[in-house]
Structure 1
Amino acid sequence: MCHERWSGGAEDARRYATPVALATEDGREMPGWTFRPFGPPGDGSGGGSGDGSGAGGRGTCLVVPDIYGPSPFYAELARLLAAEGYTATLVDYFFREGPLAERTREAAFRRRAGLDERRALRDLSAAVGRLGAGAPRTAVIGFCLAGQFALDLAAMRRDLATVSFYGFPEGVSGEVAVAAPRPVDLAGEITGPVLACWGTRDYIPLPVIQRFEKAMRDAGTDYTQLLLDGAGHGFLQGLVEEREDSAAARRAWLETLDFLAGAGLTGRAS
Structure 2
Amino acid sequence: MQTEISFPADDGTSLPGVLTVPDAAGAPGPALVMIYEAFGMTDEMRRVARDLAAEGFAVLIPDLFARGRITALCVARAVRTVRRGAGRELEDIEAGRRWLARRAEVDADRIGTIGFCMGGGFALLLAGTGRYKVSAPFYNLPLPVARACPVVASYGGRDVSTRGYPERLEARLDELGVPHDVATYPEAGHSFFTRTPGVKGAIAARSPIHAEYHAESAADAHRRVVAFFREHL
Q: TM-score normalized by structure 2? A: 0.81
Which position in structure 2 is the counterpart of 1:176? none
Structure 2 unaligned regions, length at least 5: 82-86, 196-211
CA distance in 2, matches of 1:82, 1:111: 27
Q: Which residue of 1 aligns with 2:6?
A: 21
Counterpart in the other structure of 2:21? 36
Q: If each structure's helix is expressed as a fraction of its own residues, which one has the higher value?
A: 2
State the match for 1:226 in structure 2.
183
- Give the counterpart of 1:155 among 118, 125, 128: 128
Shift of 1:29: 2.2
Q: Does the CA contact (< 8 Å) of 1:58 and 1:261 recur in 2? A: no
Please tell me whether residue 135 in structure 1 is matched to residue 128 in structure 2.
no
After superposition, the C-alpha distances for 1:163-182 in whole angstroms (9 at most, x for unaligned) are 11111123xxxxxxxxxxxx
Q: Deviations over 1:42-68 (max 9, x none)?
A: xxxxxxx42xxx42x641112210111
How far off is 1:83 after superposition? 1.6
1:65 aligns with 36
Partner SS, residue 59 of structure 2: strand
SS for the counterpart of 1:131 is helix
What letter matches 1:32 in structure 2? G
Residue among 125, 146, 151 paired with 1:188: 146
1:35–1:82 CA contact under 8 A, matched in 2: yes
Which amino acid counterpart does residue 64 of structure 1 have in structure 2? I
Aligned position for 2:217: 248
- Are residues 95 and 200 of structure 1, via their aligned partners in 2, closer, same or farther at CA, if it must alter by over 3 Å? same
Give the superposition deviation at 1:37: 0.8
* 8 Å CA contact 1:97, 1:114 repeated in 2: no
- Between 133-142 and 222-231, the greater mean CA deviation after superposition: 133-142
Return the offset for 1:213: 2.3
From 112, 115, 121, the equivalent of 2:90 is: 121
Q: Which secondary structure state, in structure 1, belongs to the residue aligned with residue 127 of structure 2?
A: helix
Q: 2:139 aligns with which of 153, 166, 186?
A: 166
Unaligned runs of 5+ in 1: 1-15, 39-48, 101-107, 171-183, 265-270
Q: Is the 8 A contact 1:22 1:29 kept in 2?
A: yes
Query: 1:95 maps to which residue?
Result: 66
2:75 aligned residue: 112
- The answer (yes or no) to whether the contact 2:113–2:135 under 8 Å persists in 1 is yes
Conserved? CA contact 2:126–2:132, under 8 Å: no
Q: Is the 8 A contact 1:24 1:123 kept in 2?
A: yes
Q: Distance in 1 between matches of 2:147 and 2:179?
A: 12
3-state SS of 2:15 partner: strand
Question: Would you tell me which structure has more strand in proportion to its own residues?
Answer: 2
- Equivalence for 2:209: none
Distance in 2 (alpha carbons) for counterparts of 1:244 and 1:128: 29
**Percent of aligned pairs sharing the same letter:** 28
Look up the SS of the partner of 1:224 in the other structure: strand
Check conservation: 1:125, 1:153, Cα contact below 8 A: no
Number of equivalences: 208
Cα RMSD (Å) of the superposition?
2.2
Report the residue type matching 1:65 in the other structure: Y
Q: Compute the displacement of 1:257 (Å).
A: 1.0
How far apart, CA to CA, are the structure 1 residues paired with 2:165 and 2:116? 17
Q: 1:194-243: CA deviations, max 9, x gaps?
A: 111001111223223322222222222222201112111111126xxxx8
